[in-house]
Structure 1
Amino acid sequence: MIAKAKAISHGINDLRYITGESQHKKHPEKIYRVLDNLLPSEPDAMGIWNSMQLTLSQHRPIKNSVIRIELSPSPEHTQFFEIEDWQKLWHDFAEEFDKQVITDKDGKVRSCPTNLAGSKYSVWLHTESEGGVPHLHAAVCRIDEDGNINNDHNIHLRAQRAAERVAKKRGWTTAAQVRNSHIHQVNRDCMDTLKSMQSWSWEEYKDTLIRKGYTVHERNDKKGILRGYAIVKGNTKYKASELGVGRNLMILKLPKTWEKLHHKPQGCALKTTFKDSQTEQSFKPSASADYGRYNTYHPDTVPYTLNHGGKGHKFYIPEKVLDCFNDEFDYRIVANTQELTDMAVAIFVGLLETPNVATGGGGGGSQNDLPWRDKDEDDLLWARRCARAASRSLGKKPKTGLKR
């Protein structure tokens, strides 16, 4: 079950919509009144609005005077519902909505309990949606009958949490469970789409996903340049940054991901990489490194597989480290991005000794020239040193054909 909530200024328009009086509603006969709270007997949209205005006019004016709420359970849970069942569902939701206290990360209260129970509202059942999923719409007066304002800070979170709690109490599927069960299929469909493409094309990628039953929302900047996208399946929305591995399905990384899927390796990546380097480098663990720390998943890490000798070595490296390597070895300007990244990761996790490459110059050198990681060294600092070591060993090969 999912829920949405937002404080709005266009209360009368919302009321016309949820009551079916709006001209945009093609099937008002499929919209039913569920219940009213603290309102006259079954008023129309204007009657509800006038009653709310009577309350609002007695207090300081507020811009967003109405709370719009949508509550959508999974259809399998409500197929035998009567109006009384919908009323009970709304009351359960409103109770969970009201009693929450929302705090920030420091424990400071950002939103006190609300009082929908003491506010004027009207709830309606819509069954005319294209998907045929019955759902509730409600319009709630922001000021309750005691003159208190219903706080709208993080109101979307308040609605989501209330829906989750009601679903759990009833043993229903929660929005989080639906999302987690579907995201693996979404990832597979995205990767299969990339694999099926003979050449990289955003339009082909988007159109193929649409044919698979998804809706693709593009995000363009003021100049019309595509900066991001999201995929929608049913009532669930997935941002590109939430998909794939290491955010490899984001708009800027899609071309590189396509290239990796269509790359034809000439032998083992690590073996070829180090054989071609000017400094022959043996593939063996660093004596001073504890690479076992990267063998298990931790929060904010992403999987990375290194292939050598016909075997795959899977590690979990901090996401910020992979981002560092992606920035340092930008595939748009560096031809041997994959080889450089593989070597940098191998050095980072301790699977490979740091290449002994002369850095030039005289003197005694510095701590940054040492071939091992200091025990107190930050991940990002060590990652930058690994990137520099890989660059010195293999050299950055610029892509040809980029200059005019």
Structure 2
Amino acid sequence: MIAKAKSISHGIRAMLYVSGESRNKKHPEKITRICDNFMPQGMDASGIWTEMKFATMDRPDIKNNVIRLEISPAMEHTGDFTVEDWQQLWNDFAAAFDKQEILNDDGEVIPVPTNISGSKSSVWLHREAKSGIPHLHAVVCRIDENGDINNDHAIHIRAHRAAEQVARQRGWTTAKHIHESRIPQVSEDCMEALRELDEWSWEGYAEKLAAKGYELHLRKDKKDVIRGYVLHKGSSRFKGSELGKGRNLTASRIERTWEKLHPGQAEQESPTPKQPVITTPNPSVHTESEQKPQADAGRNNPVYEYYTEWQPDRLRTEFEYAGKNYDRYIPEKVLDCLNNEFDFRELANWQALQNLAIAFFTLVASPYGEVSGGGGGGSQSDLKWGRDPEEDEIEFMRRCAREASHRLGLQKKSGMKRK
């Protein structure tokens, strides 16, 4: 079981998405209301949002006035769940969430705990994910029924710990345990791919793994030297550094591992074979209804990433570009940086700026050219756009923000515009 949380300012957008009223939701019939707490029952997204706005209207200093949560148990644990079972899971999670002790920067326990159990909230079950895994979405008011604020310091840590605690209480395997339990099989698949490979090459390794259902993504430095790799299979990701025995499947050691499996063939090879130059396998092309970028988006980039898959340190982010809606999973620290770059309290066009910066960051768009046909990413320009291997994600987001500012300008709420 995994969970994530984020305090946000765009509560109405979150409610539209969670309730299935968003135009971005293709299958609202697969979304079920689980419970509305401390509010009239059965309201639509607008009514729920209005209730939460009234609760926070006396606290204009609160920038992010709702908390968005996602809770995803393993499918095998919820196959026979009723609505009442999902309600109980939410109640258990909320109680565990509120009990977490979080430390401040000085190592002291924050004296005021959260009280999402005693706050207005709306909880919905989603069954429309491609993985088929049912999961809960919740929107919670930042002000509880006692008028106290729900502290959002390290809120993602609260969610992670609460999910682990509830999973242990119910005897469920945790996300970490599931991942670790799969590593031996993935390692064996990698070894089998090496055994099947007549001649060592990254390209051949990728082909053998593709036949077993894996996608190989190489990580290179500025000199085009392969420093690591990641295997994708479904929604799971496995780093080469965590596979094999004694790190024998890492990027730096995998060729020697192949040589040990093929001693006769290795002796016939040149003692200093030239490393073949290949391009990193691109993700498959999807239609825009699936919200995947086109495969050519990063063709000139030394390092690129689409941020289309969930990871523990990432948050689902919705944004609009060129009239189309996108979902991506972006590191929380990067989103915090973006909120600082374009503060909604100061800028009238903060939303447009954020949307464009995220489009640049996720390679849905490039500042060097128009988006190519088909609705995905991909610049028609030959200029490179992407994150350098040694460039921090936050620095890259700042570059994206500067590009967005250059194109749209900064419109202060006073009506003055500066470029």
Query: Structure 2 length as normaliser, TM-score?
Result: 0.54
Counterpart amino acid of residue 197 in structure 2: M
Whether the 8 Å contact between 1:35 and 1:122 is mirrored in structure 2 is yes
Q: How do residues 216-227 of structure 1 correspond to structure 2 at under 5 angstroms?
A: none
Counterpart amino acid of residue 120 in structure 1: K
Whether the 8 Å contact between 1:220 and 1:228 is mirrored in structure 2 is yes
3-state DSSP of counterpart to 1:68: strand
Whether the 8 Å contact between 2:197 and 2:208 is mirrored in structure 1 is no
Between the aligned partners of 1:145 and 1:217, the Cα distance in structure 2 is 48
**Any idea what the Cα deviations from partners look like across 1:146-198, whole Å, max 9, x if unmatched?**
44433333333322221222222222223233222211112222232333334
Between the aligned partners of 1:227 and 1:65, the Cα distance in structure 2 is 42
Counterpart amino acid of residue 244 in structure 1: G
**Any idea what the Cα deviations from partners look like across 1:183-239, whole Å, max 9, x if unmatched?**
111222223233333444445444543442345566678999876544344554433
Counterpart amino acid of residue 76 in structure 1: E
Aligned match of 1:42: 42
Aligned match of 1:139: 139
**Any idea what the Cα deviations from partners look like across 1:72-95, whole Å, max 9, x if unmatched?**
222232222211111011101111
Between the aligned partners of 1:192 and 1:265, the Cα distance in structure 2 is 17
Q: How do residues 183-194 of structure 1 correspond to structure 2 at under 5 angstroms?
A: 183-194=183-194
**Any idea what the Cα deviations from partners look like across 1:96-130, whole Å, max 9, x if unmatched?**
11101034899533685321112222110112222
Change (3 A) 1:150 1:250: farther
Change (3 A) 1:106 1:40: same
Matched, 1:86 2:86: yes
Aligned match of 1:76: 76
Which consecutive unaligned segments of at least 5 residues does structure 1 have?
268-404
Counterpart amino acid of residue 46 in structure 1: S
3-state DSSP of counterpart to 2:244: coil
Whether the 8 Å contact between 1:17 and 1:24 is mirrored in structure 2 is yes
State the identity as a percent.
56
Whether the 8 Å contact between 2:215 and 2:231 is mirrored in structure 1 is yes
Q: How do residues 2-401 of structure 1 correspond to structure 2 at under 5 angstroms?
A: 2-103=2-103, 108-109=108-109, 113-214=113-214, 228-233=228-233, 236-251=236-251, 253-255=253-255, 257-259=257-259, 261-264=261-264
Range moving further from structure 2, 228-237 or 149-158 = 228-237
Between the aligned partners of 1:222 and 1:66, the Cα distance in structure 2 is 42
Change (3 A) 1:157 1:191: farther
Between the aligned partners of 1:198 and 1:68, the Cα distance in structure 2 is 51
Between the aligned partners of 1:88 and 1:178, the Cα distance in structure 2 is 23
Q: In terms of Rg, which structure is larger?
A: 1
Between the aligned partners of 1:72 and 1:15, the Cα distance in structure 2 is 18
Change (3 A) 1:142 1:255: farther
Counterpart amino acid of residue 43 in structure 1: M
Change (3 A) 1:204 1:50: farther
User: C-alpha displacement at 1:135, in angstroms?
Assistant: 1.5
Change (3 A) 1:134 1:112: same
Whether the 8 Å contact between 1:16 and 1:45 is mirrored in structure 2 is yes
Whether the 8 Å contact between 1:100 and 1:112 is mirrored in structure 2 is no
Aligned match of 2:290: none
Counterpart amino acid of residue 6 in structure 2: K
Counterpart amino acid of residue 151 in structure 1: N
Between the aligned partners of 1:253 and 1:53, the Cα distance in structure 2 is 57
Between the aligned partners of 2:238 and 2:11, the Cα distance in structure 1 is 29
Whether the 8 Å contact between 1:220 and 1:227 is mirrored in structure 2 is yes
Whether the 8 Å contact between 1:7 and 1:64 is mirrored in structure 2 is yes
Change (3 A) 1:99 1:237: farther
Between the aligned partners of 2:227 and 2:66, the Cα distance in structure 1 is 33
Whether the 8 Å contact between 1:5 and 1:155 is mirrored in structure 2 is yes
Between the aligned partners of 1:142 and 1:162, the Cα distance in structure 2 is 18
Whether the 8 Å contact between 1:120 and 1:141 is mirrored in structure 2 is yes
3-state DSSP of counterpart to 1:102: coil
3-state DSSP of counterpart to 2:143: coil
3-state DSSP of counterpart to 2:91: helix
Counterpart amino acid of residue 161 in structure 1: R
**Please, what is the CA RMSD of the aligned residues?**
3.5
Whether the 8 Å contact between 1:111 and 1:152 is mirrored in structure 2 is no
Counterpart amino acid of residue 143 in structure 1: I
Whether the 8 Å contact between 2:36 and 2:122 is mirrored in structure 1 is yes
Between the aligned partners of 2:14 and 2:86, the Cα distance in structure 1 is 20
Change (3 A) 1:253 1:167: same
Whether the 8 Å contact between 1:97 and 1:162 is mirrored in structure 2 is yes
